[in-house]
Structure 1
Amino acid sequence: MNLEQLGNIIRERRNELSFSQEVLSNKSDVAIKTIHSIELGKANPSVKTLERILDNLGLQIIVVNK
């Protein structure tokens, strides 16, 4: 998965939950600029930041070993 795909998943789920970027920012304690950049595929978030965002969206990271 690339950063653009990740951003699309986050944006789509946020919209499904009717969260604005500001609401997600407040819930996850992640700067709104960071959320905006992630959704555009322009940021490479740390695992901790990504976990905080995904937790508030009801999503999780699954690591698959090849």
Structure 2
Amino acid sequence: MNFEQLGHIIRERRNELSYSQEVLSDKSDVAIKTIHSIELGKANPSLKTLDKVLGVLGLELIVVSKKD
């Protein structure tokens, strides 16, 4: 998954919940500018930031790593 796809998922879920970007920003304690950039796929957010945003949206981040 790339950042554009992730941003699309976040935007769709936010809209399903009828949250504005401002509401999501307030609830997640993430700057509205960052929310906007994430949704456009132009941000490279930290896992902590993603966890905050996804938590508010009722979504879960699953990180898969390759085992050598």
Please say whether Structure 1 and Structure 2 have the same fold, judged by a TM-score greater than 0.5: yes
The runs of 5 or more residues in structure 2 that have no matched partner are none
Give how far 1:65 is off: 4.0
Q: Scaled by the length of structure 2, what TM-score is found?
A: 0.93
* Runs of 4 or more consecutive aligned structure 1 residues displaced over 3 Å after TM superposition: none
Write the distance in 2 (CA, Å) between the matches of 1:65 and 1:22.
33
How much identity, in percent, do the aligned residues show? Answer: 80
Q: Scaled by the length of structure 1, what TM-score is found?
A: 0.95
The within-5 A match list for 1:27-66 is: 27-66=27-66
Figure out how many residues of one structure are paired with residues of the other and give that number. Answer: 66
The runs of 5 or more residues in structure 1 that have no matched partner are none
Q: Name the Cα RMSD after superposition.
A: 0.8
